Amino acid sequence: MSVQEHHLTVARSARYFTLGGTEPREVWFACHGYGQLAARFLEKLRVLDDGRRHLVAPEGLSRFYVGEGATERRVGASWMTREDRLAEIEDYVRYLDAVYDDVFGRLDRARVTVHALGFSQGAATVSRWTAMGTSRIDRVILWGGEFPPDLDLTGAHVAGRLRAARLTLVYGRSDEYITAKVLAGVTERLGARDIPYREMPFAGGHELNEAVLKELAEG
């Protein structure tokens, strides 16, 4: 008899962190990269906290120890791995929708614009959430991460949701992950489905950049 795989849905605790005022004009959802934690990632976005924005940083549902040999090893989180990946994607899309609903249980959605920023692995996370979730995203920023190559853009619903969200691709010119070949593949797919986008390259690598964050906030 062969081994059989089963799935069931369980309740679990997840956490997210916030920064900023309670009467904002913008709400930013920020998804961290692989091996990062939400609170530390949010500190890197503090430059956006000028009284007009409410920043929300959900944390990936899978935590693990980063590095080896250290007595106090750092803890990081991941959005998904290749193992049971479709279930993990469905889980984090539902989770981010739940965070969105929780945030707008306190804030008036009609009074704000919603921005979703994903860094590195978080870029694919934000892309799938925008395309597959129920939350209404006004602007999507993919920073140093690839638009997921397996996201099906042939359906009118998915493509329509992505067209409605102003899409910006941010990358360092020396980013070892976002090469010219990777970028060309992303822009070709977006262009084929008439999904508009803006490119914002900067002098740097696989990192956040304070000057670029300020420029994004202004426009």
- Residue 24: Cβ-neighbour burial (10 angstroms; 0-12, 13-18, 19+): buried
Q: Is residue 6 part of a domain?
A: no
Q: Report residue 81: phi and psi, to 5°.
A: -130, 180
What pLDDT shows up at residue 68? 72
Q: Is residue 10 part of a domain?
A: no
Which residues span the domain enclosing 114?
16-218
**Number of structural domains the chain divides into:** 1
**Which CATH number is 123's domain given?**
3.40.50.1820
Q: Give the confidence band of 217 by pLDDT, cuts at 50, 70, 90.
A: very high
Q: 58-85 pLDDT, tens per residue?
A: 999 999 999 776 567 889 999 999 999 9
Q: Is residue 193 part of a domain?
A: yes
Q: Is residue 155 part of a domain?
A: yes
Q: 104-146 pLDDT, tens per residue?
A: 999 999 999 999 999 999 999 999 999 999 999 999 999 999 9
Angstrom CA distances, 108 to 11, 26, 60, 138, stand at 27, 11, 26, 15
Cβ distance 2 to 29 under 8 Å?
Answer: no
Q: How far is CA 46 from the centre of its chain?
A: 17
The pTM for the full model equals: 0.95
Q: Is residue 7 part of a domain?
A: no
Q: Is residue 123 part of a domain?
A: yes
Question: 24 pLDDT exceeds 90?
Answer: yes
Q: 32-68 pLDDT, tens per residue?
A: 999 999 999 999 999 999 999 999 999 999 999 997 7
Q: Is residue 184 part of a domain?
A: yes
Q: Is residue 1 part of a domain?
A: no
